[in-house]
Amino acid sequence: MSRIGVFGGTFDPVHMGHLVLAEQGREQGPLDRVLFIPAARPPHKLDRVLTPFPQRVEMLALAIAGHSAFQIDELEKDRPGPSYTVDTLEELHRRFPNDQFTLLIGSDCLPDLVHWRDPAGIATFAEVLVLARPGWPIHDPKQIRADLHFPDNLALRVAVAPLVDISSRDLRRRAAEGRSLRYLVPRAVECYIQNHHLYADA
Q: Structural domain boundaries of the chain? A: 3-164
Mean pLDDT of 164-191: 97
More confident residue, 96 or 44: 96
pLDDT of 145 above 80:
no
Mean pLDDT of 80-94: 91
Q: What is the predicted pLDDT for the residue at 98?
A: 96
> Edge to edge, what strands does the sheet with 127-131 contain?
70-72, 33-38, 3-9, 100-106, 127-131, 156-159
Q: Where does the pLDDT of residue 46 fall: very low under 50, low under 70, confident under 90, or very high at 90 and above?
A: low
Q: Where does the pLDDT of residue 202 fall: very low under 50, low under 70, confident under 90, or very high at 90 and above?
A: low
Chain centroid to CA 108: how far?
12
What residues contact 49, with CB distance under 8 A and at least 6 apart?
A: none
| Fold topology of 3-164 | Rossmann fold (3.40.50)
pLDDT of 60 above 70:
yes
pTM for this model (two decimals): 0.92
pLDDT of 23 above 70:
yes
pLDDT of 143 above 80:
no
Mean pLDDT of 35-64: 89
User: How high is the mean pLDDT of the chain?
Assistant: 91
What residues contact 142, with CB distance under 8 A and at least 6 apart?
A: none
**Dihedral (C-alpha) 20, 79, 189, 194: value to the nearest 10 degrees?**
-140
- DSSP letter (8 states) at residue 44: G
Q: Where does the pLDDT of residue 80 fall: very low under 50, low under 70, confident under 90, or very high at 90 and above?
A: confident
100 pairs with which residues across the strands?
3
Residue pair 88/8 in contact by the 8 Å Cβ criterion: yes
